[in-house]
Chain A
Amino acid sequence: MTETMNAPTQASDGASSGVPILEVTDLKKHFPIMKGLVRRKVGDVRAVDGISFQIRKGETLGLVGESGCGKSTTGRVILQLDRATEGSVKYEGEELVGKSTSQMRGLRPNMQMVFQDPHASLNPRMTVASIIEEPLIEHRFGDRAERLAWIEELLGLVGLSPTHANRYPHEFSGGQRQRIGIARAIALNPDFVVCDEPIAALDVSIQAQVVNLLERLQDELNLTYLFISHDLSMVRHLADRVAVMYLGRMVELAPVDALYESPQHPYTQALHSAVPVPNPVVEFGRERIILKGDIPSPANPPSGCSFHTRCPIATAECAERVPEWRETNPGHWVACHLV
């Protein structure tokens, strides 16, 4: 049934002004479940199960969903850090799926990643300068003096001081470490950056600092972001368009205002209403949609629409047929039988 998830190329998407930098078509990533003495394959975890979308040059596409919905896997598969099971990822028209590691290496400077955990993603035995220099050496950027000058400039760009270059990651706070991770990601002048929950591990007062930095860098360096997050409020703040995932599939994709002001998919509506607002007047006054039950396992997803087990308006059809991924308004895509 997944053929129905096959989206037509979304040329009519939105104002159709932006040129796509990335085109994802029917992308799947299944992880095998091995059991027993001979490690026989007994099933699949369908982490990403047929998603299609585009990212336009210079925009921020927010990708939201709860844990286990496949949003991080999507980011990793796009960058070929995990190999796709099926489907296509085209970067500026060039197919990435099936490329070898060495073929990918030539493209790596253009596409980079900022990781969630600034503690785990920086080598504790390397100085800040050598952490940022590593990709520069790998991609043969200038001589040592040029590299060090560029590192100093990068540190300035992300709001650190050049004197920080010879320190080790443990000497920095979480927010500063994330700045180092960002400096490394932009060191090779990429066009496209996948930000995988870059602020989830940071304190509230530091999150705004890092988000403002990412926004400033986007303007100055003309970056395109895929911003993966579970924080719907922050995504509303910085994204141009937003995609919502549930159990490996995309349920809704729309320009940011349309998605937050008139969400169409019942899951988006529930997700939206579950987020608390820091204002007691709003909080005490509003009616919440409370979803019943837990998120099903992606190893054994429900039949038909995978949301039907928790959906407040599901009908018999929802349990049988996978809803088609269709455009209900220009640029507004939804996968639901009842919209």
Chain B
Amino acid sequence: MRGFWVNDALEESPLSADAVLDVSGLTTRFSTPDGVVHAVNDVSFELRAGEFLGVVGESGSGKSVTMMSLLKLIPMPPGHIDAGVADFGGDDLLSIDAAALRTIRGGQIGFIFQDPMTSLNPVLTVGKQLCEPVMLHTGADRKGAKARAIELLDLVGIPDAAQRFKNYPHELSGGMRQRVMIAMALACEPKVIIADEPTTALDVTIQAQIIDLVKDLREKLNTAVIWITHDLGVVAGLADRVIVMYGGRIVEQSPVAELYARPEHPYTQGLLNSVPRIDQKGGELTSIPGQPPSLLSEPTGCSFAPRCPYAFDRCLIETPRLAAVDAAGEHLSACFWDTAQGRERT
């Protein structure tokens, strides 16, 4: 088979030199009473320094589990990471010991969760929770940590930061709590921030505030961001590159403009056609027929094949791998069918 498979492409690509995080072959499963859930299957990607990587997928696509696996934030058991390497500055996140991982978690890699109400401790003031990582990871004393915490609250646009320092999470609104979460993730000047659906629980005008803040912070801080979402609209205005996941696999990966202008994978195409746009008059919505796959069976073939309008015999037997579809090797798709040419890829 010809074509640039992703791993070969990575070795040759000069861009991989500045990758801050290089994940390959990540496979995460959960052993449940109903059987083994194949949540993440052989996922490989890289995150480049300072870049904003959008990860798009529906529930059960494996987008959150992929990122949580990297920091071992999944419950183990029932979860187990069966294979994979995650190179972060020379360390393999998946094999280093717990103590080493602890210094990276919250230090060099920050995490922002979807629901700030359940991820903040309700019985501690936000100030106390902000000081904790600062003291732990930077060795600052109480006074220094407090000054840093107030500086951070100010940075994320919380008015009257010194007063808010003393507030408990329940005294803040949803948008303010998410700002506190962002401040916590930024506390130790991480190289990477992983944000898991950070605006999904928020109202649309508050989401716009948070996105505005994130754009502003990006310009100031130059931190690499992985932004997990189900909303194709949110990443369109934020990301440099986008990864699309389906059934525990990456099905497409591309620079943002290219992905929306020329989606290659039939799933990405279907997804873009099924969302209405606020700036366009409604026509018929083209829905994707069928249901998302059950992850309980060992995936054979392409997991999108049962819903795919282009599927043919090969899709049911063989699993397509991510391969470059453009000359630069930046746009990758995992599909045997070339929808533009209307023929099988060779």
Residues of A near any B CB (own CB < 8 A): 66-67, 173, 175-176, 203-209, 211-212, 230, 232-234, 236-238, 257, 260, 270-284, 288, 290-291, 294-295
Known: A203-B58, A211-B285, A276-B234. A291 touches B208 (CB 8 A): yes
B278, A260: Cβ atoms under 8 Å? yes
Which B residues lie within 8 Å of A208 (CB)? 274-275, 285-288
* In the bound complex, CA of A275 to CA of B233 (Å): 8
* In the bound complex, CA of A234 to CA of B256 (Å): 23
Task: Give chain A nearest CB distance to B47 CB in angstroms.
Answer: 19
Task: Give chain B nearest CB distance to A24 CB in angstroms.
Answer: 24
B291 close to chain A: CB less than 8 A: yes
Question: B222-256 vs A: 1/0 string, CB under 8 Å?
Answer: 00000000111110110000000000000000001
Task: Give chain A nearest CB distance to B205 CB in angstroms.
Answer: 5
Q: Show 5 residue pairs from A and B whose CB-CB distance is below 8 angstroms, ordered by the A residue.
A: A204-B275, A205-B292, A211-B285, A288-B212, A291-B205
* In the bound complex, CA of A173 to CA of B59 (Å): 12
**Nearest 8 Cβ contacts at the A-B interface:** A283-B237, A276-B233, A208-B287, A237-B282, A274-B208, A237-B276, A208-B274, A278-B232
* In the bound complex, CA of A230 to CA of B173 (Å): 19
* In the bound complex, CA of A232 to CA of B203 (Å): 12
Which A residues lie within 8 Å of B71 (CB)? none
Known: A203-B230, A205-B288, A279-B277. A232 touches B204 (CB 8 A): yes
Known: A274-B205, A290-B212. A203 touches B236 (CB 8 A): no
List the count of A-B residue pairs having beta carbons below 8 Å apart: 128
Known: A232-B204, A280-B257. A238 touches B282 (CB 8 A): yes
* In the bound complex, CA of A294 to CA of B211 (Å): 15
Given contacts A205-B287, A205-B288, 11 further A-B contacts (CB under 8 A): A66-B203, A230-B204, A233-B276, A237-B276, A237-B285, A257-B281, A276-B233, A281-B260, A288-B208, A291-B205, A291-B209
* In the bound complex, CA of A280 to CA of B278 (Å): 14
The winner among B58, B211, B230, B233 for most chain A CB atoms within 10 A is B233
B33 close to chain A: CB less than 8 A: no
In-complex Cβ contact of A236 among B173, B174, B233, B282 (8 A)? B282
Known: A208-B286, A284-B237. A272 touches B205 (CB 8 A): no
Which A residues lie within 8 Å of B207 (CB)? 274
Which A residues lie within 8 Å of B256 (CB)? 280
Task: Give chain B nearest CB distance to A116 CB in angstroms.
Answer: 15
Known: A233-B275, A236-B276, A294-B173. A278 touches B260 (CB 8 A): yes
Task: Give chain A nearest CB distance to B236 CB in angstroms.
Answer: 5
A278, B233: Cβ atoms under 8 Å? yes
The winner among B173, B276, B281 for most chain A CB atoms within 10 A is B276
A277, B236: Cβ atoms under 8 Å? yes
B97 close to chain A: CB less than 8 A: no
* In the bound complex, CA of A125 to CA of B164 (Å): 48
Name which residue of chain A comes closest to B176, CB basis: A294
Known: A230-B203, A290-B212. A278 touches B291 (CB 8 A): no
Known: A276-B233, A280-B257. A204 touches B58 (CB 8 A): yes
In-complex Cβ contact of B237 among A212, A276, A294 (8 A)? A276
Task: Give chain B nearest CB distance to A258 CB in angstroms.
Answer: 12
* In the bound complex, CA of A274 to CA of B205 (Å): 6
Which A residues lie within 8 Å of B236 (CB)? 276-280, 282-283
Question: B44-70 vs A: 1/0 string, CB under 8 Å?
Answer: 000000000000001100000000000
B329 close to chain A: CB less than 8 A: no
Which B residues lie within 8 Å of A234 (CB)? 276
Task: Give chain B nearest CB distance to A15 CB in angstroms.
Answer: 18
A67, B203: Cβ atoms under 8 Å? yes
In-complex Cβ contact of A233 among B208, B277, B288, B291 (8 A)? B277
Name which residue of chain A comes closest to B173, CB basis: A294
In-complex Cβ contact of A205 among B176, B204, B261, B274 (8 A)? B274
* In the bound complex, CA of A71 to CA of B173 (Å): 20
* In the bound complex, CA of A232 to CA of B278 (Å): 7
Which B residues lie within 8 Å of A288 (CB)? 208, 212
Name which residue of chain B comes closest to A275, CB basis: B278
* In the bound complex, CA of A207 to CA of B273 (Å): 12
B284 close to chain A: CB less than 8 A: yes
Known: A260-B278, A278-B260, A294-B173. A205 touches B271 (CB 8 A): yes
